Amino acid sequence: MSAADLMAVLLANYLRYDFSSPDNPANDHLVFSKGHASPLLYGLYKMAGAIDDEELLTFRQFGSRLQGHPTPEIPWVDVATGSLGQGLPISVGMALAGKRLESAGFRVWVLCGDSELAEGSMWEAFEHAGHAELDNMIAIVDVNRLGQRGPTMHEWDTSSWATRARACGWDVQEIDGHDLLAIDDAYAQALEADGPAAIFARTKKGSGVSAVEDEDGWHGKPLPDPEAAVEELGGVRSLQVAVQPPPPAQPFEVKREPVERPSYEVGEKVATRGAYGDALAWIGSTDEKVVALDGEVSNSTYAERFAAKHPDRFFEMYIAEQQMVAAAVGMQTRGWKPFASSFGAFLSRAYDFIRMAAISDADLKLCGSHVGVSIGPDGPSQMALEDIASLRAVFDSVILYPSDANQAVQLLDAMRQHRGISYLRTTREATPVLYAAGETFEIGGSRTIRSSADDDVTLIGAGITLRECLAAADDLAGRGVTARVIDLYSVKPVDAEAILGAAGETKALITVEDHWAEGGIGETVAGVLAEAAAGTPLVRLAVSGRPGSGPPAALLAAAGIDAAHIVAAVEQALN
Amino acid sequence: MSAADLMAVLLANYLRYDFSSPDNPANDHLVFSKGHASPLLYGLYKMAGAIDDEELLTFRQFGSRLQGHPTPEIPWVDVATGSLGQGLPISVGMALAGKRLESAGFRVWVLCGDSELAEGSMWEAFEHAGHAELDNMIAIVDVNRLGQRGPTMHEWDTSSWATRARACGWDVQEIDGHDLLAIDDAYAQALEADGPAAIFARTKKGSGVSAVEDEDGWHGKPLPDPEAAVEELGGVRSLQVAVQPPPPAQPFEVKREPVERPSYEVGEKVATRGAYGDALAWIGSTDEKVVALDGEVSNSTYAERFAAKHPDRFFEMYIAEQQMVAAAVGMQTRGWKPFASSFGAFLSRAYDFIRMAAISDADLKLCGSHVGVSIGPDGPSQMALEDIASLRAVFDSVILYPSDANQAVQLLDAMRQHRGISYLRTTREATPVLYAAGETFEIGGSRTIRSSADDDVTLIGAGITLRECLAAADDLAGRGVTARVIDLYSVKPVDAEAILGAAGETKALITVEDHWAEGGIGETVAGVLAEAAAGTPLVRLAVSGRPGSGPPAALLAAAGIDAAHIVAAVEQALN
């Protein structure tokens, strides 16, 4: 109710949207960053004639698309909101796409709450939108003074936020959010701005209904006397608004620099992070929808190799991983295929955004480099040791962990073709190329590198630990023990058939991972075994103890995941 | 090298620190938010006489406490840094403790980088410190213009940041960071400020060495000709600084309102989140070190019950989960026992901070409410479905998931006594009290609620699914199937003995969890079974499919984790 006047004026006079054709690329975007205002959003759809009263009354009911917070199950909703502080940074991605990739005329209107201005991610968005001069973006902040449990820090004093937004390069207005003419003037001025525009609108929660207006304690609660409220608001009405259609969409062109598919010689030492960079540049040339974003570490993730070839489609997001992932989510709403990279450890900064991206059914490709203790001297703050666990626990995600450079190239192209959330885990160190450039690897597959009819034991690794498994197998061969070696490069979905085959044919399985034991490769394998009631012993080697700095080999040994530890584990398991 | 002048003046003239007594509570705090400046920090220790040249040369070597990024393995380091944007918000917690809890005179000096100002968490800290008027906090920003891979957004133009910090209520200065007198004046002025003070110091990366000074491409790289550099810097010297000791520590008093230990009648319906609030208020009365923080949802997590009894020890952190967790980490460096709460889903916002807290060896207690699909109509954005997986994958963490209110009280008190990172997962819905108030529950335990010598099958649940398991057991009894029921309230560490006992004594195990399948209770149990080579079939029921809004019962059914699905799974497993 606090934002109803703001949205009514927007719908009547400014929004350009064809509700009968939500896929029209010229449509404006309307993002409710304050997703809990969903009743207002659904009310707008009703006013626009997109839904009827009957559907409106299914709000929050089982099976209804009108959920408690908006999701893209509704065709006019681009992204799920409801975790505060996400709608504005996601909108930055839409606006970046419009301005830098598509030269398009659409506008991105974002309704924000005042409480969510406490989220740092909102200020990442203010900073980035100002820096990128996104004049196609208008943030409307509903300053109703009251959060869920009481007053906000600044209540109706909008000056601090206004000063900050202005300092970020925004055109800023502070208005009375219930003054219809002031609202109309503000939107008109916002459209004239040279950069992004913010309107801080002082409003009253529960506006128009004296029983609750500007009163604390009513957040997310139904009105005490809804009939009296309707009466006070002017009685039952059924306003219809003819929303302006967008102008015709304009075609645009994407530059495509030719880049050869990278390939590496077997035995050559190449880091999979390097292969990521090479392969990203390549798929950028084969698929014009591919775009890349990086969190100010492109000389480490090697996303810079994409930037060098396709500068128009590369986005430097600086050290702001939430904004990076959010921008990627925004871009994919417009059909782009965003690849966002940082150190795997720092993607944890954006975990809530990745979680929400799954609810948005987003097509989001992530790459985390510098995983595990094998990064060496930089120490534990830089080591991703929980990325497999946390990203496996994202709905419908795909987790790929290449063991050599040629495989990384293949898997990256598989990610390009896969629609959904996928994650590529790359290694800092250069490791020997194992596979010929022509070999194929699929999402959900695995590769049994060594096997024979009389294998004693199975070693399962991926990435850096596959190298250790192979070294251990060599050592074991000298001790008369034959080891099968499986490259479990697709951690999710996992190749259960290969695991169960090994469980049936060998006496024990050893998993080895440069990751904590919880939620990683070992537990994935354990789940497969337990569900099949396979009683084959499983030994899970994973990082034990808090690592420090040191050379990679010393850290692998200290963590208990190097070849020597594998050999010892096999000997113990077979005795 | 860019910040060497800034830190030299600080050490010589302002820092009050007794290096021989790092536990002295009157010592100032010095936090390197830009943890990659560790060589400078270790150089300061050398200048202060705390370490010698020999140790300095162990930098980044295996086994050395002088890691690539600072960690509290070093007695003068409070918290690990190296994930940028964390040192400043953590320092807010130290300053809050000094000002609001201890009335202490120490100061918190924070060296920040300019690149990390792109992280929203830095602006959560600026906002919160300004709001709380933390005049014991001084942020020194080393504006060296260059990030890892190139220029920052603002380079040497500090005006935008300065304006924003000022708008947040900070005393702000912009200086030349190589002008020793200007630095000295700035610190003197900062100490006179009424609120937090920020000094934006324009500096040159590689200052003083012409081969690299203000040149791009040298981030994190050794100097090309170190001997020439030493020569240019004035030759080999061995400066020693007599650092001022702190004034004597002042005693302080903590108010302790008496609160009775909560207890509930068996059969009564109570939400475990309510028990959290009641129990938190109770342990606040038994242990004066207990403090509570909440992310603007204390009327949902019920942390408000603590606030009502112990307002001096309650901290409203607004909707800024990163700042909330960071402040808790800061407070525990001073011996406080912080309990930080929000919706479980929103703790994912602070995942990188929790990851780093483990590297800091922090004593951090977290509570996530509103977990799983059973929250009902608010929809998936509000449902924690990945919290067990992600928080299990935090080094040495404890994960507790109470199944009734009396157990929640016990477990919260166990968390209070446990030093380390622990997480309590609470349920929105009121569920029947199962256990008498006097029963004891331990971290690492489980409770077999129903069992007999001829159990056919074992049902394992926790929280809301334990209720479903009990209902299923009743139903199965009517069908002639006897089910053992295990309450696996301690998910990590887990009671392997109880699981293996059930595996040996019953024909199948069924785990049921209101969480994704990955990394949750089912995989935990699978890991136990697989490592023991127990071939008992395991069926893992977990949330399948993307949930929507609806009544809790409908959502549990749709997710496949209600009593009816358990019964069906048992019948299938036994056939």
Put simply, the answer to whether A319 touches B84 (Cβ < 8 Å) is yes
Q: Model confidence over B532-565: pLDDT tens digits?
A: 999 999 999 999 999 999 999 999 999 999 999 9
pLDDT classification of B237: cutoffs 50, 70, 90: confident
Work out the mean pLDDT of chain A and round it to a whole number.
Answer: 97
- Strand order through the sheet with B364-369: B314-316, B290-294, B337-343, B364-369, B421-425, B398-400, B490-492
Tokens 């195990």 map to which residue? Answer: B509
Put simply, the answer to whether B297 touches A62 (Cβ < 8 Å) is no
> In B, which residues are within 8 Å of A69 by CB distance?
378-379, 381-382
Whether the pLDDT of residue A201 is over 90: the answer is: yes
Put simply, the answer to whether A304 touches B149 (Cβ < 8 Å) is yes
Give the model's pLDDT for residue A434: 98
Q: Model confidence over A1-19: pLDDT tens digits?
A: 999 999 999 999 999 999 9
**Distance, CA of A47 to CA of B441 (rounded, Å):** 56
Whether the pLDDT of residue B133 is over 90: the answer is: yes
CA A272 from chain center: how many Å?
22
Average pLDDT over residues A137-160: 97
Q: Which residue of B lies nearest to A168 if distances are taken between CA atoms?
A: B160
Q: Model confidence over B445-474: pLDDT tens digits?
A: 999 999 998 999 999 999 999 999 999 999
Give the model's pLDDT for residue A571: 97
> In A, which residues are within 8 Å of B61 by CB distance?
377, 549-550
pLDDT classification of B337: cutoffs 50, 70, 90: very high
Catalytic residue set of B: 321
Of A131, A349, A526, Cβ closest to residue B527: A526
Of B320, B386, B550, Cβ closest to residue A119: B320
Put simply, the answer to whether B120 touches A120 (Cβ < 8 Å) is yes
Q: Model confidence over A392-438: pLDDT tens digits?
A: 999 999 999 999 999 999 999 999 999 999 999 999 999 999 999 98
> In A, which residues are within 8 Å of B299 by CB distance?
148-149
Average pLDDT over residues B144-172: 97
What secondary structure letter does DSSP report for A281? H
> In B, which residues are within 8 Å of A115 by CB distance?
296, 318-319
Tokens 């930098």 map to which residue? Answer: B59
Whether the pLDDT of residue A56 is over 90: the answer is: yes
Give the model's pLDDT for residue A396: 98
Cα-based torsion angle of the residue sequence B272, B278, B282, B285 in order, rounded to the nearest 10 degrees: 140
A interface mutation test: which of B321, B390, B458, B491 has the most A CBs within 10 A?
B390
**Distance, CA of B511 to CA of B521 (rounded, Å):** 7
Identity at A439, one-letter amino acid code = E
Degrees to nearest 5, angle at CA B401 with B400 and B406: 100
Put simply, the answer to whether B319 touches A118 (Cβ < 8 Å) is yes
Contact between residue A538 and residue B57 where contact means Cβ atoms under 8 Å apart: no
Average pLDDT over residues B323-350: 98
Q: Which residue of A lies nearest to B343 if distances are taken between CA atoms?
A: A83
Give the model's pLDDT for residue B220: 87
Of B298, B351, B526, Cβ closest to residue A351: B351
**Distance, CA of B75 to CA of B484 (rounded, Å):** 50
Q: Which residue of B lies nearest to A360 if distances are taken between CA atoms?
A: B381
Tokens 């909102």 map to which residue? Answer: A122
Put simply, the answer to whether A80 touches B169 (Cβ < 8 Å) is no
CA distance B244 to chain A (A): 31
Whether the pLDDT of residue A341 is over 90: the answer is: yes
Please tell me whether the peptide bond between B380 and the residue prior to it is cis, using omega within 30 degrees of 0: no
> In B, which residues are within 8 Å of A147 by CB distance?
296, 318-319
B interface mutation test: which of A61, A161, A352 has the most B CBs within 10 A?
A352
Task: Kindly report which listed range (A222-226, A537-541, B345-349) carries the lowest average pLDDT score.
Answer: A222-226
CA distance B304 to chain A (A): 9
Give the model's pLDDT for residue A220: 87
Q: Which residue of A lies nearest to B218 if distances are taken between CA atoms?
A: A299
**Distance, CA of B41 to CA of B26 (rounded, Å):** 20
Put simply, the answer to whether A390 touches B85 (Cβ < 8 Å) is no
User: Cβ contacts of residue A108 below 8 Å, gap of 6+?
Assistant: A28, A29, A31, A91, A94, A95, A98, A134, A136, A137, A138
Q: What is the DSSP string of A205-249?
A: TTTT-TTTTT-TT-TT---S-HHHHHHHTTSS------PBPPPPP
> In A, which residues are within 8 Å of B308 by CB distance?
none
Average pLDDT over residues B346-369: 98
> In A, which residues are within 8 Å of B71 by CB distance?
379-381, 548
Per the annotation, the verdict on A321 as an active-site residue is yes
Residue from A119, A321, A429, A513 carrying the catalytic annotation: A321
Of A120, A380, A519, Cβ closest to residue B518: A519
> In A, which residues are within 8 Å of B355 by CB distance?
345, 348, 386
Of A163, A378, A527, Cβ closest to residue B167: A163
Give the model's pLDDT for residue B238: 86
ipTM value, please give it.
Answer: 0.98
Tokens of A393: 């626990």
Q: How many angstroms separate the Cα of B519 from the Cα of each of A7, A425, B531, B543?
A: 42, 18, 16, 12
Contact between residue A448 and residue A498 where contact means Cβ atoms under 8 Å apart: yes
For B156, counting Cβ atoms within 10 Å of its Cβ (0-12 exposed, 13-18 middle, 19+ buried), the class is middle
Tokens of A563: 């070849």
Q: Model confidence over A19-41: pLDDT tens digits?
A: 999 999 999 999 999 999 999 99
**Distance, CA of A372 to CA of A387 (rounded, Å):** 9
What secondary structure letter does DSSP report for A349? G
Q: How many angstroms separate the Cα of B449 from the Cα of each of B412, B466, B558?
A: 21, 10, 26
- Strand order through the sheet with A197-202: A29-32, A108-113, A137-143, A197-202, A171-176
CA distance B149 to chain A (A): 6
Give the model's pLDDT for residue A238: 86
Contact between residue B556 and residue B539 where contact means Cβ atoms under 8 Å apart: no
Q: Model confidence over B470-521: pLDDT tens digits?
A: 999 999 999 999 999 999 999 999 999 999 999 999 999 999 999 999 999 9
Query: Can you list the positions of beta strands (E) in B426-521?
Result: 430-432, 447-450, 457-461, 483-487, 490-492, 509-512
Put simply, the answer to whether B83 touches A531 (Cβ < 8 Å) is no
Q: What is the DSSP string of B129-160?
A: HHHTT-TTEEEEEEE-SB-SSSB-SSTT--HH
Closest C-alpha among B10, B28, B9 to residue B18? B28
Closest C-alpha among A362, A337, A341 to residue A286? A337
B interface mutation test: which of A116, A346, A355 has the most B CBs within 10 A?
A355
Give the model's pLDDT for residue B3: 98
Give the model's pLDDT for residue A237: 87
Task: Give me the total of CB pairs closer than 8 Å, taking one residue from chain A and one from chain B.
Answer: 351
> In A, which residues are within 8 Å of B148 by CB distance?
296-297, 299-300
Please tell me the pTM assigned to this model: 0.98
φ/ψ of residue B227, rounded to 5: -70, -40
**Distance, CA of B552 to CA of A303 (rounded, Å):** 44
